[in-house]
């Protein structure tokens, strides 16, 4: 996929495209003319009435495998549940500290050759498995945390994020990077790098404001502040080649009452506790759901709640269409929605009786 250098600005109902390679090339498109399609829930998998609650514990991560299977990282059972396209489910790994065993597994992804990566914070290791579940060794080790999001580029590299700590003259400092990792914890190239003094709550806030995804050619899409509709596009060499922005979509400011309450609760928590992030004055506006089989970027929007709305952007930076998942009082509370080459998946989380994976479909033929 070849991405032109492009800048997008949406205001007053128009989409304006301008290319640095050809400054005379401009076109506009009425927002109202962009089609909107419906997303529907077509199937799900999870704990049914009468099932053992150990069948599916806590959904930590999930993705499609290139063979059509769905992989579910179960944080409670400490293994990967495989749902084959045909056949019976089975599991990869088990709890433990030995080779190929899980302690605190955080993330999974599938390399282009079908091998599975699993990042485990407890072991400071990104492990490799084949689809049958055989442990193949270490992809790389880390000193502190493993990536909590990984996107495959090829059979030897992923685009991922890494949080690290270092002792300096003024005490501990924090670094957060998004980069390409090739069997090593050193990012090359690095697409985003941030450093600040270690304050646990501030560390969580700054990390949670950042989101990213990547395609198979190594192009990376990053929002440094997900309370603003702005996405930077980088090529595989780490060079920024464009920006996607929607100035017509306003930030979602929290009410004074909500912000004051969050501040009050935050001040009651131990300063060293990473579970309590520093209050922020705005709600999340966007998330980067992923790249679909056509190479299009899906941006999740949170300005149409309770519905879930997506903007779908082409590789050249054109807003192709929007997609809406309508929600009612009976709809499941989907915590994470991910898009990849296999399709659209979502998960619920929060209590054992609603822990499920949902299979979604965008009905573009309507």
Residue 134 has pLDDT above 50, yes or no: yes
Lowest mean pLDDT among 107-116, 190-199, 229-238, 353-362: 190-199
Residue 49: is its pLDDT beyond 60?
no
Using alpha carbons, select from 80, 160, 163, 161 the residue that is nearest to residue 115.
80
Residues 6+ apart with CB under 8 A from 57: 74, 75, 76, 77, 352, 355
Q: Contact at 8 Å (CB) between 269 and 261?
A: no
Q: Which residues contact 188 (CB under 8 A, 6 or more apart)?
A: 179, 180, 182
Please answer whether residues 91 and 108 qualify as being in contact, where contact means their C-beta atoms are separated by less than 8 angstroms. no
Residues 6+ apart with CB under 8 A from 50: none
pLDDT of residue 68: 96
Closest CA to 248 of 315, 319, 320, 305: 319
Q: How many C-beta atoms surround the C-beta of residue 218 within 10 A?
A: 20
**pLDDT digit string (tens) for 214-267?**
999 999 999 999 999 999 999 999 999 999 999 999 999 988 888 788 778 767
C-beta of residue 312 within 8 angstroms of C-beta of residue 300: no
Torsion of the alpha carbons at 35, 41, 43 and 48, rounded to the nearest 10:
170
Whether residue 137 has pLDDT greater than 70:
yes
| Res 271: pLDDT | 53
Q: What's the pLDDT at 8?
A: 40
Burial class of residue 366, CB neighbours in 10 A (0-12, 13-18, 19+): exposed
Computed over every residue of the chain, the mean pLDDT equals 84
Question: pTM of the entire structure?
Answer: 0.86
Question: What are the phi and psi torsion angles at 365 (to 5°)?
Answer: -90, 0
The set of residues, in sequence order, having a beta carbon less than 8 Å from that of 267 and lying 6+ positions away, is none
The secondary element (H helix, E strand) that includes residue 123 is none
Contact 62, 106 (CB under 8 A): no
In this structure, what are the phi and psi dihedrals at residue 258, rounded to the nearest 5 degrees? -65, -45
1-35: pLDDT as tens digits: 333 333 343 333 333 333 333 332 333 345 668 99
Distance from chain centroid for Cα 196: 23
Which positions ≥6 away from 300 have C-beta within 8 Å?
Answer: 286, 287, 288, 289, 308, 309, 310, 337
pLDDT band at 37 (very low <50, low <70, confident <90, very high): very high
Q: Is the Cβ–Cβ distance between 218 and 182 less than 8 Å?
A: no
pLDDT of residue 27: 33
The β-bridge relationship of strands 105-110 and 14-19 is unpaired
**DSSP label of 207:** H
The confidence score (pLDDT) of residue 296 equals 97
Select from 201, 207, 208 the least CA-distant residue to 274: 201
Identify the pLDDT of residue 199: 58
- What would the mean pLDDT of 156-177 be, rounded to a whole number? 84
- Look up the CATH number of domain 59-208: 2.120.10.30
Where in 247-318 does DSSP place strands (E)?
Answer: 286-291, 297-301, 308-313
The whole-number pLDDT of residue 223 equals 96
DSSP state of 97: S
Convert the pLDDT of each residue in 279-321 to its tens digit: 778 889 999 999 999 999 999 999 998 899 999 999 888 999 9
Percent over 90 (pLDDT), the chain: 60
How far is Cα 196 from Cα 190, in angstroms, rounded to an integer? 17
Q: What is the pLDDT of residue 201?
A: 54
The confidence score (pLDDT) of residue 321 equals 96
Distance of CA 107 to the CA centre of its chain: 10
Nearest to 309 by CA among 232, 365, 229: 229
Task: Give pLDDT tens digits for 312-354.
Answer: 999 888 999 999 999 888 788 888 999 999 999 999 865 445 6
Residue pair 272/283 in contact by the 8 Å Cβ criterion: no
The reported pLDDT for the residue numbered 146 is 95
For the chain, report the end-to-end CA distance as a whole number of angstroms. Answer: 28
């Amino acid at each position: 996929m070849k991405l032109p250098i492009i800048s997008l600005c949406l205001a007053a109902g128009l989409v304006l495209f301008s290319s640095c390679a050809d400054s005379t090339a401009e076109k506009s498109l009425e927002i109202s003319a962009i089609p909107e399609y419906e997303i529907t829930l077509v199937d799900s998998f999870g704990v049914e009435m009468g099932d053992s609650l150990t069948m599916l514990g806590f959904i930590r991560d999930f993705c499609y495998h290139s063979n059509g299977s769905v992989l579910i990282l179960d944080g409670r059972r400490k293994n990967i549940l495989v749902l084959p396209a045909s056949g019976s489910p089975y599991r990869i790994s088990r709890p433990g500290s030995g080779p190929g065993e899980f302690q605190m597994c955080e993330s999974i992804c599938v390399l282009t050759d079908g091998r599975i990566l699993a990042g485990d914070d407890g072991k400071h290791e990104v492990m490799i498995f084949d689809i049958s579940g055989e442990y193949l060794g270490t992809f790389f080790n880390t000193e502190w945390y493993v990536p909590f999001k990984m996107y495959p580029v090829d059979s030897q590299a992923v685009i991922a994020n890494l949080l690290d700590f270092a002792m300096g003259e003024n005490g501990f400092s924090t670094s957060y990077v998004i980069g390409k990792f090739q069997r090593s914890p050193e990012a090359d190239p690095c697409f985003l790098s941030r450093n600040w003094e270690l304050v646990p709550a501030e560390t969580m806030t700054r990390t949670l404001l950042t989101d990213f995804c990547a395609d198979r050619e190594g192009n990376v899409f990053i929002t440094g502040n997900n309370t603003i509709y702005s996405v930077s596009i980088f090529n595989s060499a780490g060079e920024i080649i464009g920006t996607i922005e929607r100035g017509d979509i306003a930030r979602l400011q929290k009410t004074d009452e909500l912000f004051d309450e969050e501040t009050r609760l935050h001040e009651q928590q131990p300063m060293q506790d990473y579970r309590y992030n520093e209050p922020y004055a705005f709600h999340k506006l966007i998330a980067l759901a992923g790249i679909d089989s056509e190479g299009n970027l899906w941006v999740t929007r949170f300005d149409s709640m309770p519905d879930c709305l997506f903007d779908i952007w082409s590789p050249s930076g054109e807003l192709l269409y929007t997609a809406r998942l309508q929600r009612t009082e009976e709809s499941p509370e989907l915590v994470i929605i991910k898009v990849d080459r296999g399709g659209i998946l979502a998960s619920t989380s929060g209590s054992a009786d609603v822990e499920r994976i949902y299979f979604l479909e965008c009905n573009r033929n309507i």
